[in-house]
Structure 1
Amino acid sequence: MIVNSSQGSIVDVPGLRVGHYTLSERLTGCSVVLAPDGAVGAVDVRGAAPGTRETDLLDPANLVDKVHAVLLSGGSAFGLDAATGVVRWLDEQGIGFETGYGRVPIVPAAVLFDLPVVREGDNPTARPNAEAGYAACEAASTAPPASGNVGAGAGACVGKLFGLNRCMKGGIGNASVRVGPWVVGALVACNAVGDVIDPATGQILAGARTVDGQNLLDTQRAFLQGERGNRPLPGTNTTIGVVATNAMLTKAQAKRLAMSAHDGLARSIRPAHTTLDGDTLFALATGTENCPVDLMLLTVMAAEATALATVDAISRARTTNTTLGCIPAAVEFQNEHGHHESD
């Protein structure tokens, strides 16, 4: 049985707003995390097939230390176009890096591959564009954002190492963790090639199914036992997300936060960070809490929030009928079949 164990969301971090835009023409969309006052930013890319924008400037050795939004999008490389709409929206608000000749919004972005997930009657060429990114900004607020198959998680799937016909629904999820004055929140769009695990129990929540579709296969065990399927192409999977804190961090410290957040992916996705994934996590530090930083504590919180947000993404997903067939979601699958892993 799935229990939604996440508490709170990334907007529990003061200074952030989140908005989703889901296309009506196809199962895809984008999600934006806005930091209108700027936030110290960093990124850590662990997957071997990423699709990203403006990540080099987040290196601690480089000049710009604050970003104004992070975009997560479906649509593969096409979805990077949605960042243009986020830049336009921020420009209209007068938000950006001051150059002396105008303010330039800094908007890093990452995308996931959801192109095969099409319903009957959908437009397969519809992808998140600049208008979608702008609309996500218009929808952004400090209210807890929706989880499941919305925004960047609309077309997400997991458990694809043995073929799309045996996968299950992924999605986008939220969580936050509080300790003393600190809060760390995470927003994760899970489109992994591997299975999603409940770290608290070790139970597989969603992933590759057996050939008859009735049970969960356990991708890692099957792979280690020598089973091989129709392996998807590199870059056609990815988990992307944002982890954020109210702490006042340097870029180097924010980088450590992003690195530790990947531990949360490793706990909740099996296998994670593969050659077929483009796993990318951004870190944001809004600096509204100026107590002396306990970086060790914050990194532990980041891993926990990321794992919880990944579980939230799966627990909020819903079954979808597509041209690939019915892609079941964890909740309906377990209600119908119970939790069974193949022997």
Structure 2
Amino acid sequence: MPDSWPSWQADADRWGCITQVMGIEAGHCTQPHGPTGCTVLIARDGAVAGVDVRGAAPGTRETDLLSPANLVERVHAIALCGGSAWGLDAASGVMQWLDEQRIGLDVGVARVPIVPAAVLFDLLVGDPGIRPGARQGYTACQQAGKTPLTCGSVGAGSGASVGKVFGMPCAMRGGIGSASLTVQGVTVAAVIACNALGDVIHPGTGSVVAGARTSPTGHVLRNTHQALLRGESPVAILQGSNTTIGAVATDAVLSKSQAQRLATVAHDGLARSISPVHTMSDGDTLFALATGKVAQHPGMLTLSAMATEVVARATVRAVWSATAYQDDAGLYLPAVTDVRCGGNRF
């Protein structure tokens, strides 16, 4: 394992967090009885933003306005939510909180908070009738701050799962993770809610960290990529029943077109850490935020390399930090710590 990669046991300081980006606050609302939840990123002074949707089954709000061809330049928050399409309602609560703080686009008679959002499908875990709504979005804003964001089975990652190509009974627990890097005085960070159809891969070793198991009760990882190449048939997969969502943020100054490019190249981090990725059953969506709080700019090539790295790290951290799940219906989703000795070497 390269020295630049923290081990899964490493403390949070070695991983970093998206709140280390100047101008970004973050918070969760977790509904443990779902389990589901939402995670919010707040830019009180606004942030230039971009988005790139790669999965074929996305659930999003306010993404069209992020096109460089469209008028609005800055957003004030990003909402990442569980609950499938119902979860988009959490953004309304984020808007309410921002409105109360008088944060938003000044249109003369009011300040309109701009809150793009994306959702993941977590209805197959727990009670599908429990979903994040406006109240949960508001609560996530109340919890937001500059302290390190908790990772694992919380917020938008509460009901996440990974490794579902061969059926939900053989899957594992997903989650939400964050990571950051600072180069030449500029910080780039990511937060990723990983609910992927595919396996999560360690980019440093190529080994499977979490994913499809060989049996519903076992703790041996199947390696989905190799299994598919061997000719093993996937189960019938409900379209849109997966999705990895997240955001990258930097305190560098970016134009709107540069922010969109950063969101685009950040998907390389998902390609390094999830296999298969961007499938017909995933709605993979990444936002990019630039707060412009520092004058330094190492160049887009360096920022792109940083974005790719922190997205990969945050994805791996999401599953490394997750806890096992078991419900009364018999669904068992082990955590990484449960399968390490079952054929997973990293």
Fold conserved between structures, TM > 0.5: yes
- 2:114 maps to which of 102, 106, 110: 106
- Give the aligned partner of residue 238 of structure 1: 243
- Give the aligned partner of residue 260 of structure 2: 255
Three-state SS of the structure 1 residue aligned to 2:250 is strand
Partners of 1:131 and 1:139 lie apart in 2 by 12
The question of 1:267 aligning with 2:279 is answered no
- Give the aligned partner of residue 333 of structure 2: 327
- 1:210 maps to which of 198, 207, 214: 214
The number of residues matched between the two structures is 336
The question of 1:143 aligning with 2:147 is answered yes
Q: 5 Å matches for 1:1-343?
A: 3-4=8-9, 7-118=15-126, 123-211=127-215, 213-292=218-297, 294-322=299-327, 323-335=329-341, 337-339=342-344
Deviation at 1:325, TM superposition (A): 2.0
Deviation at 1:26, TM superposition (A): 1.2
Partners of 2:177 and 2:156 lie apart in 1 by 10
Q: Supply the RMSD in Å over aligned alpha carbons.
A: 1.6
Q: Which amino acid aligns with 2:338?
A: E
Q: Which amino acid aligns with 1:328?
A: P
Q: What percentage of aligned pairs have identical amino acids?
A: 55
Structure 1: runs of 5 or more not aligned: none
Partners of 1:3 and 1:106 lie apart in 2 by 36
Q: Which amino acid aligns with 1:14?
A: M
Q: Which amino acid aligns with 2:136?
A: A
Where in structure 1 do 4 or more consecutive aligned residues deviate above 6 Å? none
Q: Which amino acid aligns with 1:247?
A: A
Partners of 1:340 and 1:199 lie apart in 2 by 13
Deviation at 1:292, TM superposition (A): 4.2
- TM value normalised by structure 2: 0.94
Task: Report if the CA contact (8 A) 1:164-1:324 is conserved.
Answer: no
Query: What CA deviation, in whole Å up to 9, does each residue of 1:54-106 have, x standing for no partner?
Result: 00000000000100000000000000000000000000000001111211000
Query: What CA deviation, in whole Å up to 9, does each residue of 1:251-276 have, x standing for no partner?
Result: 10001110111000000001111111
Please say which of residues 125-134 and 319-328 is displaced more in the overlay. Answer: 319-328
Task: Report if the CA contact (8 A) 1:235-1:278 is conserved.
Answer: yes
Task: Report if the CA contact (8 A) 2:221-2:339 is conserved.
Answer: no
Deviation at 1:291, TM superposition (A): 2.5
Partners of 2:331 and 2:264 lie apart in 1 by 37
Partners of 1:276 and 1:146 lie apart in 2 by 28
Partners of 2:345 and 2:262 lie apart in 1 by 36
Task: Report if the CA contact (8 A) 1:216-1:340 is conserved.
Answer: no
Partners of 2:40 and 2:91 lie apart in 1 by 9
Task: Report if the CA contact (8 A) 1:248-1:285 is conserved.
Answer: yes
- Give the aligned partner of residue 4 of structure 2: none
Partners of 1:222 and 1:151 lie apart in 2 by 32
Deviation at 1:340, TM superposition (A): 7.1
Cα 1:50–1:66 change in 2 (3 A) is same
Query: What CA deviation, in whole Å up to 9, does each residue of 1:225-260 have, x standing for no partner?
Result: 221132321110000001000100001000111011
